[in-house]
Each structure stands twice: as structure tokens, then as C-alpha cells.
Amino acid sequence: MIEDSRNGFKSGFVAVLGRPNVGKSTLVNQLVGAKVSITSPRPQTTRGPIRGVRNGPGYQAVFVDTPGSQKPRDTLRSRMQQQVLDSLSESDVVLLLFDAEGAKKGLGTGDRYVARLVAESGAPAIACINKVDLLRDPSEAFPIVEEVSNLAEYEDVFLLSAKEGLNVEPLMETVVGLLPPGPHYFPEGAVTDYPESLILAEYIREKALNVLREEVPHAIAVEIDEVERKDSGVTVVYAIIHAERASQRMIVLGKNGKTIKQIGTEARRDVERLLGTRIYLDLKVKVTPGWRNDPRFLERLGL
């Protein structure tokens, strides 16, 4: 933590909560102005809280992208849900996201459950109705706003498109207005405190999520075994994709290794941008039965 001697400086932690696949990671990336969280059309993409930092004149906002709130069904999901609760308890401001497209027929029990958690936390909260760009008629949002507003008392309610950037900056202005006086928690240039190895693993997992199908994406985990920087200027990243069953391993590999090659090619582009160097990505696929219920393995993944 870096103390700030200037009068009136504001800072704080802003938890971003909501059901799976409501666009939390996309919104965090927009607010921070950099890719700190991976995104995918598939639900349950985010598995652990990821902090993204935005610095501005007189403030530092630390956005905490949390896993989608859901009923725990295994050790992994239990830990994910506990991380949601921990992030909520430590927040100065909360952004609660709802999916406009999904809420046209009314909010679900999951939305109401998360809203209740936020209300019970006592933290200043802003309701964000996301994905309004998918509505055929803007007037379809009005009943959603009314229903959301009846769930709890919010500082404000925003209609957003995190993907398109609609109303993201007005939301940011409202967040800054709610931040308490505080210090610089991170240096000026920092955009995240996520360790390099975990960022690399997440980039690879993002590409795997986008390439794979059916139940396989949620049955895989990515672990960085080693990062070797060679004198030639090339950085070699050794990574392991863990699957739960042999059949899943074959799907990840693909016919003649086509699928794993596609994952590696797409991931390498992002990793090169992150590290600023040429990359050789060495990807292996390993069967690790029951990893989602293995506490020691989850700790190795930072979970």
C-alpha cells in the first residue's frame, strides 16, 4: 500500500457481482481500460476474484471481478462462492449486474439471491442492467428497471452495454463519487495484481473455452509449469491442460492434434502481447481425475 499525502484523494475496492454470464468480466475490462479478465460466451468463465486497477485524477478504483454466484456442487464451486462472499464483505462499493436479455420475462431466483446478499452487506450498491444492446426495443428495459429497483435500495440504476461501452463512463463517474477517502493501494501504472503465471494460464483457458464444446470446458484447468526466458529473446511457456477423463483429453487434443494446436495458436497471440516478447508455447494435456474436488490441486491453481 502506498500512502498518498494529497488532500481529498479517494480510493476503494469495487466488487462486481452477478449470476454467471451476465458480463462481469467484460465490464471490468471496460472500466479498467485493459484486459485483466478473460471473457467467453460460456457461463462460469471466471473462477477466482481478479482485481483490475483504474487510476484517475484524485482517485484509484480497484475493481474485483468475481465468479458468477451459483449453488455449490463441488469443492471448486464452493470455493468460488466463498470468494464471492469474501469480495463482498471487503468492498467499499458494489456493482450488481443483471442480464437485460435474460430478465425480459422476469428476474430469476438466482438474481434475487445475489441481490439479497448485496442488500445485507450494507455497502453502497449500483444496479447495472447489462446487454441492453440485445433488446429489440429500448422500452423493454423499463419493466426490468422497476423490478430491479424493488429488490433493494440502490445508489443508482444504469442501463449498460459493457460490450459496446454504452454508459460505462457515466457509471465510472458515479463509482468515483462513492469511493471513500483512502491511499494508493497499487502503483500508478498497475492494472492488476494477478501473478504472471496465473494470467498466462487464464489466457490459455480462455482460448480453450472458446474452442471446446459441451461439458469439456468446465472440466479443464490450466497450469503453468515453467516460464523460461532464453538468451535468444524467445520466452518458452510450458503449460498443462488438465482434463478429468481420458475421453476429454482426446477432445482437447482433437484429430491429429488440430484442436490443441488451435488453442495454442490463439493463446500465443495474447501471451506475446502480455510479455512483449516472442513466445514458444509448449502445451500438454494430462488426465487429472476429480481435480474439481481436490483441495490441494485447487490451491495450486490459486483457488
Domain boundary assignment for the chain: 10-178, 196-300
Phi, psi of 282 (to 5 degrees): -100, 105
- The dotted CATH code for 10-178 is 3.40.50.300
- Segment 170-178 mean pLDDT: 96
Average pLDDT, the chain: 82
State the pLDDT confidence band at 14, using cuts at 50, 70 and 90: very high
**Position with higher pLDDT, 269 vs 3:** 269
Supply the Cα-derived Rg of the chain in whole angstroms: 20
- Segment 5-31 mean pLDDT: 85
In which region does residue 122 sit, left (phi positive, over 0), alpha (psi from -120 to 50) or beta (all else)?
left
Q: Report the distance separating Cα 195 and Cα 263, nearest Å.
A: 22
Q: Report the distance separating Cα 39 and Cα 23, nearest Å.
A: 8
At 173, the amino acid letter reads E
Q: How many CB atoms lie within 10 A of CB 134?
A: 14
Task: Tell me which of 2-6, 87-91, 119-123, 198-202 is least confident.
Answer: 2-6
Q: How many CB atoms lie within 10 A of CB 278?
A: 13
Short-list 67, 69, 56, 68, CA closest to 12: 56
Q: Are 36 and 29 in contact (CB under 8 A)?
A: yes
Q: Are 97 and 18 in contact (CB under 8 A)?
A: yes
State the pLDDT confidence band at 2, using cuts at 50, 70 and 90: very low
In this prediction, residue 87 carries a pLDDT of: 66
In this prediction, residue 235 carries a pLDDT of: 87
- Segment 57-68 mean pLDDT: 84
- The dotted CATH code for 196-300 is 3.30.300.20
Under DSSP, the state recorded for 68 is P
Question: What is this structure's pTM?
Answer: 0.70
State the pLDDT confidence band at 215, using cuts at 50, 70 and 90: low
Q: Report the distance separating Cα 38 and Cα 69, nearest Å.
A: 17
- Segment 55-62 mean pLDDT: 93
**Position with higher pLDDT, 143 vs 199:** 143
Under DSSP, the state recorded for 67 is P
In this prediction, residue 5 carries a pLDDT of: 42
Q: Give DSSP secondary structure letters for 213-238.
A: -TTGGGG-EEEEEEEEE-TTSEEEEE
Q: Report the distance separating Cα 18 and Cα 87, nearest Å.
A: 12
- The Cα-based distances of 280 to 243, 273, 274, 277 in angstroms read 22, 13, 14, 10
Q: Provide the b/e sequence for 153-178 (b: ≥16 CB within 10 Å).
A: ebeebbbbbbeeebbbeebbeebbeb
Q: Report the distance separating Cα 78 and Cα 62, nearest Å.
A: 24
- Segment 58-64 mean pLDDT: 92
Under DSSP, the state recorded for 176 is H
Task: Tell me which of 30-39, 120-129, 289-298 is least confident.
Answer: 30-39
Cell numbers for 58: 484524485
Q: Is the pLDDT of residue 221 over 60?
A: yes
Under DSSP, the state recorded for 276 is T
At 302, the amino acid letter reads G
Taking every pair of Cα atoms in the chain, the longest distance, rounded to a whole number of angstroms, is 63
- The Cα-based distances of 284 to 68, 116, 183, 241, 249 in angstroms read 28, 43, 43, 6, 10
Q: How many CB atoms lie within 10 A of CB 218?
A: 18
Q: Is the pLDDT of residue 223 over 60?
A: yes
Q: Report the distance separating Cα 10 and Cα 183, nearest Å.
A: 7
State the pLDDT confidence band at 213, using cuts at 50, 70 and 90: low
Burial class (CB in 10 A: 0-12, 13-18, 19+), 258: exposed
